[in-house]
Chain A
Amino acid sequence: MTVSPELDDRFRDAAAASGLLDVAYDVVDTPVGHLFVATTERGLCTISYDPETDRIVDRLARALGTRVLRTARPVDPVRRQLDEYFERTRTEFDLPLDLRLTADFSRRVLQELERVPYGQVATYGELARRAGRPRAARAVGTVMHNNPIPIVLPCHRIVGANGSLTGYGGGLDRKELLLKLEGATF
């Protein structure tokens, strides 16, 4: 016997409302493809381009607790702000973030990254300097590559010293698309 989609949704909503979930996630459709989006009670913890949902779910369950469930409602504010961003009606995200998955230095870098304004670019070296480690440009590159919340934490705005796009966890095509969407010159 099969559980109807209505009953399934009803349970998932009730589970989210119960406050018992460690992580709630859903898949969000955007112009840069399907995004895996996960939140906790503290805030947004993951955005991923990885199509292997199972792999991300396993990792989140190990790191944050086994009660991980796909459920739309807790993800809705993120979905709404992403929609607005891609419609160009939003230039800043206003979402609580949960950076527990990130170690100290990385967290400092990501906090600086959050301040790089819409439509502008900065270099890896500049970001390293702002985070108080001027010689750590390469380490900053690694932090960008492992950015748990791309788009909202705009690692697409970080480019090489010579202005080249260098690299992007979601692929260079997406980085270019995001920068063009924001009207950045690069």
Chain B
Amino acid sequence: MMAVSVAAIPPFERFYDEHRNAVFGFLVRRVGPDAAEDAFQETFLRALRGYASLEHGKHLRAWIFTIATRVCIDQTRRTPSNSLLQGELEVAVEDAQPVHLQLDHLADELPPTEHAAVLLRYGYDLDYAEIGAALGSSEDAARQAASSGIRRLRRKEGGA
């Protein structure tokens, strides 16, 4: 008998159908309803590009939200909005980018949920309610995942 893997990669259609509304809602909150449409298309095209090299179907929700978050950052950088906000945004992005890159690298060895929670919290400055929504869990679970990820990183640093 063939074993059915719980982490089999679903056909892209099913993956897209399952996450599209949540991702779109997230993008509308992050970049507003107009920019969200382009960001939505870009997010799922990037996912499609990476889909063939996925090794398993675990943590797909965290994966697509990480992509969506990166798309928001890129989009904000490319088309800074007018006047007053522009300066602030550029400062925020200048700050955020290196942090996210460092964190992404540092947090590589964490379990995927902790990785995503740490990255979204400290790399992209999402609040725990948003991270919970992104990871398909609660605000509390997101807080716990981020803090246990940070503890793990500290232990690693201390032990190294």
Contact = CB atoms under 8 A, between A and B. Distances in A.
A20 interface: yes
A7 B37 contact: yes
Contact of A67 (B28, B37, B48): B48
A84 interface: no
Interface in A19-62: 20-22, 54, 57-58, 60-61
B21 A69 contact: no
B24 A65 contact: no
Interface string A72-86: 000000000000000
B99 to A, nearest CB: 28
A18 B14 CA distance: 19
B44 to A, nearest CB: 6
B37 A68 contact: no
Contact of B51 (A2, A8, A57, A66): A66
A66 B25 contact: no
Contact of B12 (A3, A10, A54, A67): A67
A137 interface: no
Contact of A15 (B11, B28, B48): B48
A15 B52 contact: no
Q: Secondary structure of the A side of the interface? A: mixed
A22 B51 CA distance: 11
Contacts of A105: none
B21 A70 contact: no
B41 A68 contact: no
Contacts, number: 65
Interface string B1-24: 000000001111110100011001
Given A18-B45, A20-B49, A3 B11 contact: no
21 contacts: A1-B24, A2-B24, A3-B21, A3-B24, A3-B40, A7-B37, A11-B40, A11-B44, A14-B41, A14-B45, A18-B45, A20-B48, A54-B14, A57-B13, A57-B14, A61-B11, A65-B52, A66-B11, A66-B54, A67-B52, A68-B12
Interface of A: 1-3, 7-8, 10-11, 14-15, 18, 20-22, 54, 57-58, 60-61, 65-70
> Top 3 closest A-B pairs, CB basis?
A1-B25, A61-B11, A68-B11
Given A7-B24, A67-B12, 16 more contacts: A1-B28, A2-B21, A8-B20, A11-B40, A15-B44, A15-B48, A18-B48, A18-B49, A57-B14, A58-B11, A61-B10, A65-B52, A66-B9, A66-B51, A66-B54, A70-B13
